[in-house]
Structure 1
Amino acid sequence: MAIPIPSRMLFIDGEWREPVNKKRITIINPSTEEIIGDIPAATAEDVDIAVNAARRALSRNKGRDWASASGAHRAKYLRAIAAKITERKSELAKLEAIDCGKPLDEAAWDMDDVAGCFEYYADLAEALDAKQKAPVSLPMQTFKCHILKEPIGVVGLITPWNYPLLMAAWKVAPALAAGCTAILKPSELASVTCLELAEACREVGLPPGVLNILTGLGPEAGAPLASHPHVDKIAFTGSTATGSKVMSAAAQTTKPVTLELGGKSPILVFDDVDLDKAAEWTLFGCFWTNGQICSATSRLLVQESIATEFVDRLVKWTKNIKISDPMEEGCRLGPVVSAGQYEKVMQFISTAKREGATILCGGDRPQHLKKGYFVEPTIITDVTTSMQIWREEVFGPVLSVKTFSTEDEAIELANNTHYGLGAAVLSEDLERCERVTKALEAGIVWVNCSQPCFCQAPWGGNKRSGFGRELGEWGLDNYLSLKQVTQYTSNEPWGWYPSPEKPKL
């Protein structure tokens, strides 16, 4: 049964407001290619209004503002938002499934994680109160020092379309817990559930201006947010190319930036694994979220002695994956998000063929689906390290395969990339897993699994996968500024300069 898309406006200063230019962006269901609604299109003028609202809500001079409120006070709102998400879980999951093509079971799982993220940062907000005025040990007894953890200010949060509401929660929850006020700019390709987050904030009575949500195109809304002189920090999740532009824009006012960017993550499968367990984790690591995940372990490195048998097993598992409308029961692979993304993925596959790779399975539109942006789960072999399919992020359900003979060779192949977000190692030899984990150049390493993510643990990468960490206590630290307070406690004068009231010796 179709679920109607709520018609929303921009959420600024606690109210629904029409964009200044009154323009809207069409929403297309990626499963059917049908227009199902629209969202408002913010521009620089709307960004400026939202930033001013956020600054008013932040103001440290009023005594009753968001920044100076206790962590316990802020935690009450975070928990109330979590409760609203849980209350509307089924509806929100359906909205996300038809907005971005995510299988309904995955979307429901995401909603649990969204609520859990707000709950987790409510706990950290409360704990923050006890960490204020943490003493620092000094070598001179005539001084004492303590540290204040203060909100960094007004923050701009720019999020992607593969996990629309979850990626928003990863940024909004810690920002609000820290006492920041925020402007969230979700991807124009999947904004519906983020606007429903605005409705949840309105319903729980979040103070006006604390969270503002602007939908719109990147150049028209995201770029003005990144470069706005009264935004104190930017947190961005998206492509490496766009992240570079965000970083450049933020540099104009020297504001700090957290970047969680692309990846081309390896999964190393050694010859002592259980083949079925390893096959499922390999496919989950690449095809989860329709292959549209920055940490996808889409470069398979499998030991030569089991390569033929293991890849045959992979093909059998892959052909058993249900590809359908995300709303269908048992769907495990839906469409990619848009026509543009579909063309991009198909171009990657076409280029791989032209460069001499072999499409072992998939590589086309599923025959039973005549409409929608569906791509068969694809396994590609005979790949060289110079091929585009091996080196560049596809962001679709495409797995590339190479073999290795030794542990050292596997590590060398795994690290031969510009990216450094995720990696996985599968082996029954836990000592080998530990060695390989230490050698892999990645911010996240999975052992005998791929892709599980918990809000208590840090998330982020290095190289061209960005910098900074989200989630856990590290995610909260992104939005806090440290202030050193040092006090001279002696009753004696400092005595460096001679007093004019006393005769010179």
Structure 2
Amino acid sequence: MESLPFESIYVGGQWIQPDTRKTIAVENPATEEVVANVPACGRDDVRRAVESARVAFPEWSATDAATRAETLTSLRDALVKNQEELSELITREMGSPIAFSRRVQVGLPVKALEGYAEALAAATAEERIGHSLVVREAAGVVAAVTPWNYPLHQAVAKIGAALAAGCTMVLKPSELAPLSACFLATLIDGLGLPAGTFNLVQGEGRAAGQALVTDEGADVISFTGSVRVGREVGAAAGQAVKRACLELGGKSATLVLDGADLAAAVRDGVRGALLNAGQTCSARTRLLVPRSRLEDAVDVARSVVAQYVPGDPTDPDCALGPLISAAQADNVRERLYRAADRGARRVAGPDPGEVPTVGHYVAPSVWTDLAPSAPLAREEIFGPVLVVLPFEDEDEAVSIANGTPYGLAATVWAGDTEHAAAVARRLRAGQVDLNAAKFNPAAPFGGYGLSGVGRELGRHGIQEFQEVKSLQFPA
């Protein structure tokens, strides 16, 4: 790790010193130790990066689909080759358990790149409509701003789609977990792309991030993060009449219908809520069960939560790491205590404050005896928290599931898949798993409502970065 150029930025195909001399300390949330410093870039550094991407655009956008697919495959191979070092780096910068870092934090980007490579031909295919030929072209320079919770995956999701579409880009990762993006840039540097095709600047959202999304040289904005900042990014894009793809928050639900395997469904629901210590936009933080089975569901949830003991994320057996920061941990605990004061009942897990003395940990917990409209049941918490909500019938279950301003993901458990699919069609969510279905990194990912605008991954993700042109031939 010491050899990585953390205090440099990657612009024009080379590592250079930024104009700024200010730096940002990156903390290991499990040990509270500073592990590196990165530049606190401002508008001048961002401007250089965007201009570099504009200069590179004509050459990269003129490449054919086969060349782009080969590039994505080469990047995929580089991730596989460096999987262990990347996993350890992500665990150090944001605290996810090492087994999870290997399997998901690095494993998922590998699959995403495979999905992009396979979908590229279909995403760029031409279409005949009467006497018109409809062609897809690269939209231009992409301004990509990524979050800290899945630092490599979210970067790859944007980079892979942009490169596949023929776009050049500038990436600004979260200042809380920017180290894996630096490592990723070194791998991209080895691909032999035209100088300026990919650029990396570090910095805070209010400085580098804002400068990037408002730069007149950026044609498309791709942002993943909070609803609050997403609104600001969307407003800036609207003011400049630019396309914006926004992947924001969620309050996803697991629906366990009559006839479903209750034990299997609840086990899946708890794991879906505690994934990455609950720091997942699509975390299924609401478990909806028949009222007659509420206590049975709670018993199963209690046994699963007992397996999630906060611990050292470098331990291969660790299932629950820290939250990203002291502020985030304090915020989650405060919201839980407030819910308890209002009558919510903690039915699984210790007191949220019973955690190691070092590190930003919150103990996992399951809560019930609260209304679907209660803040804990309706707002995104971003911590290891699950709410169990009973329902009387299927219509009420659907109403509760749809009763938040979000619509990112859901899971429906039923006695048969066809029944689950019928209920899934009634949900206002961008992606719904049926029974034990697994995440598909080649399918479109995104949501309704406050969960955002646009889609990532696969063919649909590539097309977010394309313009459509009609060539009218003589009839």
Q: TM-score range by the shorter chain?
A: over 0.9
Shift in CA distance, 327/76, structure 1 to aligned 2, threshold 3 Å:
same
* 1:135 equivalenced with 2:128 (yes/no): yes
What are the superposed Cα offsets for residues 249-291 of structure 1, whole Å, 9 maximum, x if unpaired?
1122100111111111121112433333122201121001110
2:76 counterpart residue number: 82
Matched residue type, 2:442? Q
Equivalents in 1 of 2:314, 2:17: separation in Å?
31
**What TM-score does the superposition give when structure 2 sets the normalisation length?**
0.96
Instruction: From 248, 261, 277, give the equivalent of 1:290.
Output: 277
2:291 counterpart residue number: 304
Shift in CA distance, 354/426, structure 1 to aligned 2, threshold 3 Å:
same
- Contact 1:227/1:252, CA 8 A, preserved across alignment: no
* 1:403 equivalenced with 2:397 (yes/no): no
Extract unaligned runs of 5+ from structure 1.
60-64, 138-143, 490-505
1:375-394 aligned within 5 A: 375-394=362-381
Shift in CA distance, 74/430, structure 1 to aligned 2, threshold 3 Å:
closer
Matched residue type, 1:135? R
- Contact 1:223/1:249, CA 8 A, preserved across alignment: no
* 1:318 equivalenced with 2:311 (yes/no): no
* 1:101 equivalenced with 2:95 (yes/no): yes
Matched residue type, 2:233? V
Equivalents in 2 of 1:455, 1:309: separation in Å?
33
- Contact 2:311/2:321, CA 8 A, preserved across alignment: yes
1:123 counterpart residue number: 118
What are the superposed Cα offsets for residues 124-163 of structure 1, whole Å, 9 maximum, x if unpaired?
335566x24x3222xxxxxx32122110000111111111
1:358 counterpart residue number: 345
Tell me by how many angstroms 1:331 deviates. 1.1
* 1:280 equivalenced with 2:267 (yes/no): yes
- Contact 2:352/2:364, CA 8 A, preserved across alignment: no
**What TM-score does the superposition give when structure 1 sets the normalisation length?**
0.90
2:136 counterpart residue number: 149
Equivalents in 1 of 2:201, 2:401: separation in Å?
39
Matched residue type, 1:312? D
1:494 counterpart residue number: none
1:497 counterpart residue number: none
Matched residue type, 2:111? G
- Contact 2:5/2:182, CA 8 A, preserved across alignment: no
Equivalents in 1 of 2:264, 2:381: separation in Å?
25
2:57 counterpart residue number: 58
What are the superposed Cα offsets for residues 296-354 of structure 1, whole Å, 9 maximum, x if unpaired?
11111111121111111111111122431111021111111111211111111121112
Equivalents in 1 of 2:453, 2:25: separation in Å?
33
- Contact 1:71/1:126, CA 8 A, preserved across alignment: yes
2:86 counterpart residue number: 92
Equivalents in 1 of 2:323, 2:3: separation in Å?
20
- Contact 2:172/2:208, CA 8 A, preserved across alignment: yes
Tell me by how many angstroms 1:92 deviates. 0.2
2:315 counterpart residue number: 328
Partner secondary structure for residue 475 of structure 1: helix
- Contact 1:339/1:373, CA 8 A, preserved across alignment: yes
Partner secondary structure for residue 473 of structure 2: strand
Partner secondary structure for residue 155 of structure 1: strand
Shift in CA distance, 431/72, structure 1 to aligned 2, threshold 3 Å:
closer
- Contact 1:271/1:306, CA 8 A, preserved across alignment: no
Tell me by how many angstroms 1:118 deviates. 2.1
2:28 counterpart residue number: 29
Instruction: From 443, 461, 468, give the equivalent of 1:457.
Output: 443
* 1:434 equivalenced with 2:421 (yes/no): yes
Tell me by how many angstroms 1:371 deviates. 0.7
1:171-182 aligned within 5 A: 171-182=158-169
- Contact 2:112/2:458, CA 8 A, preserved across alignment: no
Equivalents in 1 of 2:224, 2:436: separation in Å?
24
Tell me by how many angstroms 1:359 deviates. 1.8
1:209-358 aligned within 5 A: 209-358=196-345
Identity of aligned residues (%): 37
Partner secondary structure for residue 37 of structure 1: strand
- Contact 1:5/1:192, CA 8 A, preserved across alignment: no
- Contact 1:302/1:402, CA 8 A, preserved across alignment: yes
Instruction: From 37, 42, 63, give the equivalent of 1:69.
Output: 63
Extract unaligned runs of 5+ from structure 2.
none
Matched residue type, 1:30? P
Equivalents in 2 of 1:49, 1:338: separation in Å?
31
What are the superposed Cα offsets for residues 40-64 of structure 1, whole Å, 9 maximum, x if unpaired?
22111111100100000003xxxxx
Matched residue type, 2:278? G
Equivalents in 2 of 1:360, 1:389: separation in Å?
14
Equivalents in 2 of 1:427, 1:72: separation in Å?
43
Equivalents in 2 of 1:295, 1:184: separation in Å?
23
Partner secondary structure for residue 60 of structure 2: coil
Equivalents in 2 of 1:419, 1:261: separation in Å?
9
Please say which structure displays the higher CA radius of gyration. 1
- Contact 1:175/1:476, CA 8 A, preserved across alignment: yes
* 1:13 equivalenced with 2:12 (yes/no): yes
The worse-fitting range, judged by mean Cα deviation, of 428-437 and 33-42 is 428-437
What are the superposed Cα offsets for residues 2-41 of structure 1, whole Å, 9 maximum, x if unpaired?
x658342111111112221122110111101111111122
1:62 counterpart residue number: none
Equivalents in 2 of 1:125, 1:282: separation in Å?
34
The worse-fitting range, judged by mean Cα deviation, of 119-128 and 147-156 is 119-128
Partner secondary structure for residue 456 of structure 2: coil
- Number of aligned residue pairs: 473
Equivalents in 1 of 2:38, 2:446: separation in Å?
30
Tell me by how many angstroms 1:366 deviates. 6.6
* 1:468 equivalenced with 2:454 (yes/no): yes
- Contact 1:271/1:305, CA 8 A, preserved across alignment: no
